[in-house]
Amino acid sequence: MDDLNKPTSERHVCIVGAGISGLRCADVLLSHGFKVTILEARDRIGGRICQSEGLGYTVDIGPNWIHAWTDSDVPHPIFKLATDTGTPLHHWNNKQLLFDSDGNKLPDESTDRLSTTLWDIIADAFTFSEEGHTKNGGKDIASTDSLQDFIRRRAAEVVSDEGERQLLVKMSEMFGAYVGEPVWKQSLRFAWMEECCGGDEMFVASNYSAILSRAAKPALDGATIRLSTCVVGVTSSVAFSPFQRQAVTVTTDVGETLSFDEVVMTTPLGWLKHNHDSVFSPALPPRLTSAISNLGLSQLEKVFITFPSVFWTAPSADKPFPCYTNWLTPHYAESTNPQHWPQEIWDLSSFAEPNNHPTILFYLYGDCSRHIVNSIYGKTPEEKHRFLDDFFRPYYSLLPGYDAADARCKPAAILATEWLKNELNGFGSYCNFQVGVEAADQDVLAFREGCAERRLWFCGEHAAPFEECGTVAGAYLSGENVARKILGVYGLGGEKAQGI
């Protein structure tokens, strides 16, 4: 037992996990004189921010986007890190190519018009959800209502042509690639918490490594970072008085027991779902165990296909190739996709030199992700390549310029992520708010509050500012927030992090 008057230099905080939230938390605590030890299960820092060389050049297999807010004078922290490090950001050309269920290209005019209508409806859904939340926590919106229910209802009001209405509803499936699960699973009551998807969206044209290095520098310089150290137990107890606090002990996978003044858990939501029962002693309080089960875990996966050179040609120099192509509920690939999962790609060849590679990036979500990863997991590189090429050829072969006999149209390399099989990520990608959730905002708040009385704290993308959950910026701010809460315990300021 100790008291709160010890100098901060003797205060020892353990941060479990060296992802962006843990690194930011360490930065704030170190700058206030705390001693910080980070225990990280992987043999590297960064968590979900990570890269692969599998295509022959470096790509991010986790985040690529920066969803920067535009309605605040306060700079977006990750946009700022990108700017400070000279990380090239790409603004897409806002053009899209759309194929209907039979594989026919839709006229550009209807694609553009319907896309504008769809985004207007989504903006209305955010407003409707936000107003419902402000009024009475969203209770007037049935927890069973989905974002797609709203889109269907509004489309019935504003799109008179039946065929176009159906098309618009199919187009709304693209929201799945934002939240990692289908749009019909997205809670309407908590759609407002996904509003970051409507901000200024930029794509990191190189990769996130410079951003990560800059964010990690204070921790690398000032903290003790133990890699390949997996935490398997955390024992804490309630203080007898606010001035007499018990140490928290952490057990690692090699049987060590380490004592700290405070412990911050940054382990992902999915990891908490699978492990909280066995790791925390005593068990976490009901407000936290409910939050762990109430918040949804999404399944976003990425498949990069790179070709010997770009065969998908722009119609003319003044009309660039659309950045985004969408195959709506395809019915022409029954043997490989009998569930008609929609497909979408982003054209990574449109970046400025030297980041313009002849690569298209498919985003998968929900059951389609699960199908793809389960089909390739544990297979040889050749088997993976064959399966993935067979699965995705019905889509890329519809791009203009495709010719089966042309060597330029045969994938040179294919890289698929396998987050579904990643134990340290809890077998998923990031949190989301699915139909059925009653009070997602309260669940996020429960994480942000943590168990101060037990010196046990939580941060990460699931404890972020409401509209930043599931993002790098949200995780970063959650780390800052928890550090400020700890500062508050020791009478060191403790003002809130931005957006919290």
Ligand X SMILES: Cc1cc2nc3c(=O)[nH]c(=O)nc-3n(C[C@H](O)[C@H](O)[C@H](O)COP(=O)(O)OP(=O)(O)OC[C@H]3O[C@@H](n4cnc5c(N)ncnc54)[C@H](O)[C@@H]3O)c2cc1C
Positions in the binding site for ligand X (CB under 6 A): 16-22, 39-42, 47-49, 62-65, 67, 230-231, 266-268, 271, 300, 302, 417, 419, 424-425, 429-430, 460-461, 470-473, 475
Shortest gap between Cβ of 261 and ligand X (angstroms)? 19
Shortest gap between Cβ of 429 and ligand X (angstroms)? 4
CA angle at 273 for the pair 272 and 279, rounded to the nearest 5°:
50
CA angle at 319 for the pair 317 and 320, rounded to the nearest 5°:
85
Beta strands in 240-358 (DSSP E): 244-245, 248-252, 257-260, 262-265, 280-281, 296-297, 301-306, 324-327, 343-347
378: left (phi over 0), alpha (psi -120 to 50) or beta: left
Which residues 6+ apart lie within 8 Å of 241 measured at CB?
none
Shortest gap between Cβ of 284 and ligand X (angstroms)? 15
Half-sphere exposure of 388 (CA within 13 A, CB side): 30
Q: Which is nearer to ligand X, 230 or 492 (CB)?
A: 230
In whole angstroms, what is the distance from residue 272 CA to residue 450 CA? Answer: 13
In whole angstroms, what is the distance from residue 399 CA to residue 377 CA? Answer: 28
Shortest gap between Cβ of 473 and ligand X (angstroms)? 6
Q: Which is nearer to ligand X, 41 or 323 (CB)?
A: 41
CA angle at 91 for the pair 125 and 165, rounded to the nearest 5°:
35
Which amino acid appears at position 204 of this protein?
V
Shortest gap between Cβ of 341 and ligand X (angstroms)? 17
Q: Which is nearer to ligand X, 167 or 211 (CB)?
A: 211
In whole angstroms, what is the distance from residue 464 CA to residue 499 CA? Answer: 9
Q: Which is nearer to ligand X, 21 or 481 (CB)?
A: 21
Q: Which is nearer to ligand X, 150 or 271 (CB)?
A: 271
Give the DSSP H/E element, type plus range, for residue 152: helix 147-158
Partner residues linked to 89 by β-bridges: 204
Assess whether the previous peptide bond of 354 is cis (omega < 30° from 0): yes
* Tokens 């989905």, residue located: 146
Shortest gap between Cβ of 4 and ligand X (angstroms)? 27
Using an 8 Å Cβ cutoff, are 482 and 457 in contact?
yes
Give the DSSP H/E element, type plus range, for residue 364: strand 359-364
Shortest gap between Cβ of 197 and ligand X (angstroms)? 10
Q: Which is nearer to ligand X, 413 or 424 (CB)?
A: 424
What six digits make up the tokens of 103? 């594989």
Q: Which is nearer to ligand X, 112 or 201 (CB)?
A: 201
Shortest gap between Cβ of 15 and ligand X (angstroms)? 9
* Tokens 């790098």, residue located: 472
In whole angstroms, what is the distance from residue 438 CA to residue 143 CA? Answer: 6
In whole angstroms, what is the distance from residue 57 CA to residue 108 CA? Answer: 33
Shortest gap between Cβ of 418 and ligand X (angstroms)? 10
Q: Which is nearer to ligand X, 215 or 310 (CB)?
A: 215
Q: Which is nearer to ligand X, 28 or 114 (CB)?
A: 28
Shortest gap between Cβ of 275 and ligand X (angstroms)? 7
Q: Which is nearer to ligand X, 19 or 132 (CB)?
A: 19
Q: Which is nearer to ligand X, 61 or 159 (CB)?
A: 61
Helix locations, 88-146, DSSP H: 108-136
Q: Which of 159, 139, 152, 141 is nearest to 183 (CA)?
A: 152
Shortest gap between Cβ of 51 and ligand X (angstroms)? 12
Quote the longest CA-to-CA distance of the chain.
77
The crossing angle, in degrees rounded to 10, of helices 381-396 and 366-376 is 140
* Tokens 């931005």, residue located: 498
Shortest gap between Cβ of 3 and ligand X (angstroms)? 29
Q: Which is nearer to ligand X, 310 or 477 (CB)?
A: 477
Partner residues linked to 96 by β-bridges: 324
In whole angstroms, what is the distance from residue 300 CA to residue 6 CA? Answer: 45
- For 478, the 3-state DSSP assignment is helix
